[in-house]
Amino acid sequence: MTSVFFPIYGGRTSNSQMNARSLYQVQMAKSGIERLQTQLSTGRRLLTPSDDPDTAVRVLRLQREQEFRSQAIGNLSSAESFLNTTESTLSSIQDNINQMRGLTFSASTTLSTDAEKAGLLSQIDSTLNLLVGKANTKFQDRFLFSGASAGKSTVSYSGTSIQFLGDEKELLTISDLGQVIPNNVTGQRSLGLMSTGVVSTVDFAPAAAQDTLLADLNGGRGISRGAVRFTDGNEEVVIDLSPAATVGEALTLINGNVQLTGRDVAVSLLSNGTLRVQYADGQSGILRVSDVGAGRTASDLGIATSVPTPVLPIVGPSLDPILKLNTRLSQFNDGVGFDKSEGFQIKQGDRTYTILLGNAQTIEDVFNEVRRSGAAIVPEITPDGRNIRFRSTESGTDFSIGENGGLLATRLGIRTLTNATRLDQFNYGRGVSTANGGEIAIRKNDGTQFSIDLSGSVTIQDVLDRVNNHVSNQDAATKITASLNSTGNGITLSSVLAAPGTPDPQPIAVFALSGAEAAWDLGLIPPGQSSATGSFTPSNSELVGVDRNPQEVRGIFNSLLRFREAVRAGDLAEISRASQLFDEDLDRMTSSRGSLGISLQQIDDLKQNHEDRNNDLVARESQLLDADLAATITELTGRQVAYEASLQLLAGSNRMNLFDFL
């Protein structure tokens, strides 16, 4: 406060100087009073950043964090509302599935009349329509179970099948610094709207190419970023490969930049996807390749040497790249490729889609051909990058992948019925009845028969061998040959035409021996019938069986549609299976709702943490920004006294005359 009184000029000072100085003191005092009054009225110590720049920066940092945490609380509240709605919807769906499961028990005993069957079918249809609506639940313009396709209906219902239209991607909400939390439950996870999938069973062994990413090598583990040392024992050159992203870029960094005792070193990529290291002149000599320090770049590339005088050229092992959409089909089988001319078939319900790959160059091209076919199939690369997978999105229908007159599906490892398929996988896991001794009788073209005992058979190949190797089936003129269908799936029995002069040539026929169901289970005889007869072609006699190893979606809609068809057909075995399917659905929903409950609890905890942190931030901001009212009032009182003194000084100086200086 003393600054408003001093300096007071003494001695011979003009009146104008004294007035100016006094007026300045009055203005400064008034400005200070106004600032203090503003602090009292606003409660803030800092009115502009220039009042205290260092404190202002700290306050701005606190305010930004408050804004982030407030936004995070808003995000979590929004996610909580979506998950709460999802939970209530799933709870309602689970109640409906419990009711349907209960009906499976009554259906096995109360289908004696058409009226009872019609009443039960009406209940199933009503529940189907109800659950389709619940699966398509929309909240705040977003379909709850459509995944990332939130603007698209989850399912569509054709009356005979239900197709999943969404995807299984999670929608993520920012929940904290560097943290996210899902704010949806996918339809696949909770309702079971996609099949587990047909996963290829072969090793495609793709060869690395110039454009293969280094990160995709070694089964997806990639290449350690570092340097490689080349030496001939006299000189050494170290090449840093860390800037390289692809195999071709790594080779560019090496070739032309490594010279040992006047000889250039060349590294090339062979057609089988391995690396070859040698002198550019092709001559022998000492050439060692090693890692630098603790690095593993040379070892990861497979070109590190371990002996003093390695044999040239140095050829590394396969670089083992994973599959990517741009992987070329010509890279398969260590760069040899494969014959893709025949194509393959996808059968879905009563529809057959033929997939031709004549113009396909990459894996993505293969997938696009599947999509263009119209099949309700999602083709994709498995998460580990080692295989391809085909998943059905259509509930209520069977699907399978078979041949189109060749072996392409087998080469791709995606055929759903192979020689190695286990019999216990047949008929939706019910298996094949093989416990009655002689289960099947087969008639040859000369009218004679032999019976097949399938006991001990484990795979389809075992069944084929029992037919092909039977002691009564070795005459070339009458031999029955068992094989997989050349088109689609199933078992084909074939033989040459009856020998010339045979009085009554017979077509192939299969008979179910008394009490045996193996012929039904293998698809050689229609269920409920006792025999099946083949047909003649210009060159042979054939009996073509049907596929009894269909794949399906395992979820609530498939269970309901299977239950409806079982009731309609009066199939007690299928009704029993529907009950088991409902049990799976209930287990899935219980697990999904349990995870959802954990997510909701996590959201509550995160919101509380953010609120507690916000309260702490507000308190710290208040300490830095808010005025101390007691101190401010004290200072204001002092400045008002100074202001009055300045006014009196100014008034006194204006009354001075000549006698004041005598």
Strand partners, 275: 269
**Average pLDDT value for the chain:** 88
Write down the pLDDT at residue 241: 96
DSSP state of 498: P
Residue 334 lies in a domain: yes
Alpha-carbon dihedral sign for residues 265, 269, 270, 272: positive
- pLDDT, one tens digit per residue, over 557-579 is 999 999 999 999 888 889 999 99
38, 47 Cβ separation under 8 angstroms? yes
- For 167, residues 6+ apart whose C-beta sits below 8 A from its C-beta are 146, 147, 148, 149, 186
User: Phi then psi for 439, rounded to 5 degrees?
Assistant: -100, -35
**119 and 177 fall within a common domain:** yes
Residue 405 lies in a domain: yes
C-alpha span between 275 and 153 (Å, rounded): 50
**280 and 380 fall within a common domain:** no
Question: Among 240, 420, 223, which Cα is nearest to 320's?
Answer: 223
Alpha-carbon dihedral sign for residues 178, 184, 190, 191: negative
Higher pLDDT, 177 or 368: 368
- 244 in the Ramachandran plot: left (φ > 0), alpha (ψ -120 to 50) or beta? beta
Residue 50 lies in a domain: no
Mean pLDDT computed over 325-353: 94
Mean pLDDT computed over 435-456: 87
User: Phi then psi for 475, rounded to 5 degrees?
Assistant: -80, 120
Residue 53 lies in a domain: no
Residue 287 in tokens: 């050439």
C-alpha span between 46 and 35 (Å, rounded): 10
Write down the pLDDT at residue 178: 85
549, 106 Cβ separation under 8 angstroms? no
Residue 55 lies in a domain: no
Higher pLDDT, 45 or 113: 113
Total domains, the chain: 5
Tell me: pLDDT of 194 over 90.
yes
Higher pLDDT, 336 or 38: 336
Tell me: pLDDT of 292 over 60.
yes
Write down the pLDDT at residue 116: 84
Mean pLDDT computed over 42-56: 69
**96 and 129 fall within a common domain:** yes
Q: Residue 141, Cβ neighbours under 10 Å: how many?
A: 7
Tell me: pLDDT of 639 over 80.
no
**588 and 506 fall within a common domain:** no
Write down the pLDDT at residue 111: 66
Last residue in a domain, options 544, 568, 589 = 544
Give the three-class secondary structure for 132. Answer: helix
C-alpha span between 300 and 8 (Å, rounded): 85
Write down the pLDDT at residue 11: 52
Write down the pLDDT at residue 15: 62
DSSP for 349-416, please give it. Answer: TTEEEEE--TT--BHHHHHHHHHHHT-SEEEEE-TTSS-EEEEE-EETS-EEEEEESSSHHHHHT--S
Write down the pLDDT at residue 4: 46
Write down the pLDDT at residue 513: 87
Residue 422 lies in a domain: no
C-alpha span between 46 and 537 (Å, rounded): 99
Question: Among 351, 352, 356, which Cα is nearest to 368's?
Answer: 356
Write down the pLDDT at residue 652: 63
Alpha-carbon dihedral sign for residues 562, 567, 573, 577: positive
Tell me: pLDDT of 628 over 90.
no
**107 and 166 fall within a common domain:** yes
N- to C-terminal Cα separation, the chain: 32
Residue 648's domain spans which residues? 2-45+626-661
- pLDDT, one tens digit per residue, over 377-386 is 999 999 999 9
Question: Among 269, 323, 280, 275, which Cα is nearest to 299's?
Answer: 275
**92 and 156 fall within a common domain:** yes
pLDDT above 70 coverage of the chain, percent = 85
**Residue reference for tokens 């009872």:** 116
- Picking from 330-344, 499-513, 632-646, which range would have the lowest pLDDT averaged per residue? 632-646
- Picking from 89-93, 122-126, 657-661, which range would have the lowest pLDDT averaged per residue? 657-661
43, 22 Cβ separation under 8 angstroms? no
- For 549, residues 6+ apart whose C-beta sits below 8 A from its C-beta are 400, 416, 417, 421, 425, 426, 427, 489
Write down the pLDDT at residue 536: 84
Q: Residue 588, Cβ neighbours under 10 Å: how many?
A: 20
**71 and 185 fall within a common domain:** yes
Angle, helices 15-42/629-654, rounded to nearest 10 degrees: 160
**184 and 74 fall within a common domain:** yes
Mean pLDDT computed over 75-96: 95
Write down the pLDDT at residue 502: 59
**68 and 179 fall within a common domain:** yes
Give the three-class secondary structure for 2. Answer: helix
Residue 596 lies in a domain: yes
354-361 contacts at long range (C-beta below 8 A, 24 or more positions apart)? 354/404, 355/404, 356/404, 357/329, 357/408, 360/329, 361/328, 361/329, 361/330
Q: How confident is the model at residue 407 (pLDDT cuts 50, 70, 90)?
A: very high
**530 and 563 fall within a common domain:** no
**236 and 149 fall within a common domain:** no
Residue 347 lies in a domain: yes
Last residue in a domain, options 293, 315, 337 = 315
- pLDDT, one tens digit per residue, over 195-234 is 998 999 999 999 999 999 999 999 999 999 999 999 999 9
643-647 contacts at long range (C-beta below 8 A, 24 or more positions apart)? 643/4, 643/26, 643/29, 643/30, 643/33, 645/4, 645/5, 646/4, 646/5, 646/22, 646/25, 646/26, 646/29, 647/26
Write down the pLDDT at residue 3: 46
- pLDDT, one tens digit per residue, over 121-165 is 999 999 999 999 999 999 998 999 999 998 899 999 998 999 999
Give the three-class secondary structure for 315. Answer: strand
Write down the pLDDT at residue 498: 64
**379 and 498 fall within a common domain:** no
